[in-house]
Amino acid sequence: MNIIKRNGKEVTYDSEKIIGAVKKANNEVREKDRLLNSQINVIEEKVRIRLNDLDHEAGVEEIQDYVIEAIQQEGAFKVATAYTVYRYHRELVRKSNTTDDKILTLVEYDNEEVKEENSNKNPMVVSVQRDYMAGEVSRDLTTRLLLPPDVVEAHKAGIIHFHDSDYFVQHMYNCCLVNLDDMLQNGTVISDTMIEKPKSFSTACNIATQCIAQIASSQYGGQSITLSHLAPFVDVSRQKFRKEVREEMLENGIIVDEDRINAIAERRTQIEIKHGVQTMQYQVTTLMTTNGQAPFITVFMCLDEVAEGQLRDDLAMVIEEMLKQRIEGVKNEKGVFITPAFPKLIYVLDEDNVREGSKYWYLTQLAAECTAKRMVPDYISAKKMREYKSGDIYPCMGCRSFLTVDRFTEAGVGNVSCSKDYRPDQHKYYGRFNQGVVTINLVDVACSSNRDIDRFWRLLDDRLELCHRALRCRHERLLGTTSDAAPILWQHGAIARLQKGEKIDKLLYNGYSTISLGYAGLYEMCKYMTGKSHTDPEARPFALEVMQRLNDKCAEWKSNENIDYSVYGTPLESTTYKFAKCLQKRFGKIKDVTDHNYITNSYHVNVREKIDAFKKLAFEADFQKLSPGGAVSYVEVPNMTSNLDAVLSVMQFIYDHIMYAELNTKSDYCQVCGYDGEIQIATDPHGKLVWRCPSCGNEDQNKMNVARRTCGYIGTNFWNQGRTQEIQERVLHMSTAVLEDSEAGQRPV
């Protein structure tokens, strides 16, 4: 049996430490109030039994609570008091320096929590360790000096989650839509070097990746670019090649007509597109930012972002090459093609590509093949997005965070970012960003109410106001930031073109940027309050009412403060485990509520609930509409590479029913035996979940490549025990029978 020390290190449970601590407290009281040695042994035994009954490794604080409870059960209340006083004094000593032990365990690779905190960071790498070390200092300063005590305590207790406190000390925002068009067309500056408008497509791709790396090092969340900003440079290359071919023919005395010249130039253009896309894919995969990881980058593929004609056809060629290269994958250290985590791809479904016979149907077929093999692209329905977003179509920032609909254009705010590509007749999305996220744990609200519905609503309002004050801390941390803090963002076009020394404050109001109220555990909340899943018709209205309350609060704050608060379906990663452990500590194990080591992300149908793909997407559509600040739905599917018709059926269903969704397949490889099927999750003799190759039994994570969707992004560096259990318990939403129906030419319903 293992426990987690305060510094995050996982160690074997030592009964002598419990006995020794109780004896010290025992010696502090009068002899007549002391415990017998036999009673002290009973106390240790009770604690050990309690810990054995847990399905997670307990922390020191949790164990100490059990010790005090066991002492009180023996009637030794003065000993319990002495133990509590000793515990308090030790806490004061620890607070005098709260980071040393954690930093040392990071460097020595002994911190179990950090090992599995981020599924795209390898904590063995010194650059990652450096980022984590800085993060520990930031967390310490944040909790001791920068946040109100009640926000800190609520975060520690898992009542709310104050995201990214490891970056809060610095004046950084969360995520953004990069205005790559302005940077490429009008020039930018990278590391004090002027970068002028590129004169070829491949150069544009190279500059784009350099911009991506710089931007990733200046923020802590994901960024998105669109291929439509690169597409104009295809014709720049085409015209360059036409000129070169004419000159080559003339120099060699060869007489050819324009059609022949154009054909040769077109072939060279296609080769250039291939090289440019390859540059982007390999540079994004191999670049490492100051955060110690590849840039969290999303690439948007939307044909209707450009005018019909040559430009749209050029964009289609770029999209086609991007999909083809992702299907191939990238080579791992063994030279085997595997699924990369980045860039994430989003493909927009619209009338010109979603049905057989439409002009760009071939791209949609290619996207289906790519999804079946590599889990991307994800899909945005242009039809549903126009319905939800006042007719506009634009990507999410990073994996799911959506900007609010542009309201400053009609309000006459004008070119607040001073961008060089500003159009007063067009809504603006590229160059906008998100200030940060705070998440409410809806399961804790429910359990704290003890099923009293009036108390539930009062608690919900109180907790939402707590989140509001925490979000204000995020907003106020950015107020007063000058453009010099991140020149690539604020001065050189990624977000704005402000003057040196100019404050960014005007970009925090009028809807230019957003700030997100996250939520998690809607399923468990309903299960506790109603005894039913929110998929049950009797419980669904309650779930929708809660979602509406979140939106009403955001609207109220927005109206009062002119800040665009928005409801956000939080992509919990390590926090799902933290929330679950906090709930178990506070409320014990409640069936289907707190008895697992994870809680359900946002509004999603619980991973254990059996429901088919189409019903799941249709059901979640109403909840996604009530998460305007960002959300993504998914369906879990088996290997689909031999049944693309079924993938296309799901994609067409997405187009008609839900704005943003993805298909979760499996993409693994065992470096020991060469197995390329699904690496499975098993339980080791100590009760810990491990990844195991079903072919050779390999359990060495360093000798396998596993890719799973965990929170919008694909994770490739493994996960904590809570998230691993959630992955293990996911049911398939598309059965073999559905696949067979699809093979027979029938649409699955």
User: Catalytic residue positions?
Assistant: 174-175, 397, 399, 401, 434, 568, 573, 712
What is the SS3 assignment for 653-698?
HHHHHCCEEEEECCEEEECCCCCCCCCEEEECCCCCEEEECCCCCC
Contacts of 628 (CB under 8 A, 6+ apart): 388, 402, 404, 551, 566, 567
Report yes or no: 589 and 602 within 8 Å, Cβ to Cβ: no
Question: Helix axis angle, 232-251 relative to 201-216, nearest 10°?
Answer: 140
What is the SS3 assignment for 592-604?
CCCCCCCCCECCC
Per DSSP, 608 falls in state T
Helices (H), 142-179: 149-156
For residue 626, report the phi and psi dihedrals to the nearest 5 degrees.
-90, 10
Contacts of 243 (CB under 8 A, 6+ apart): none
| Gyration radius from the chain CA atoms | 28
What is the C-alpha separation between 122 and 716, in angstroms, rounded? 10
Among 262, 197, 178, 276, smallest CA distance to 234 is for: 276
What is the C-alpha separation between 256 and 253, in angstroms, rounded? 10
Secondary structure (3-state) at 36: coil
Got the DSSP string for 490-524? Answer: HTSSSS--PPTT-B-GGGGSTTSSEEEEEEE-HHH
Please state whether beta strands 514-520 and 433-441 pair in parallel, antiparallel, or not at all (unpaired): parallel
What is the C-alpha separation between 709 and 601, in angstroms, rounded? 13
What is the C-alpha separation between 721 and 699, in angstroms, rounded? 15
Query: Hey, what are 741's tokens?
Result: 């129906």
Report yes or no: 709 and 727 within 8 Å, Cβ to Cβ: no
Q: Give the dihedral sign, CA 218/219/220/222.
A: negative
Secondary structure (3-state) at 609: coil
What is the C-alpha separation between 371 and 365, in angstroms, rounded? 10
Secondary structure (3-state) at 463: helix
Per-state percent for the chain, helix, strand, coil, to nearest 5: 50, 15, 40
Q: 733-740 contacts: CB < 8 A, separation 24 or more?
A: 733/611, 733/612, 733/613, 733/616, 733/635, 733/636, 733/637, 734/612, 734/613, 734/635, 734/636, 734/637, 734/638, 734/646, 734/650, 735/612, 736/638, 738/612, 738/613, 738/646, 739/638, 739/640, 739/643, 739/646
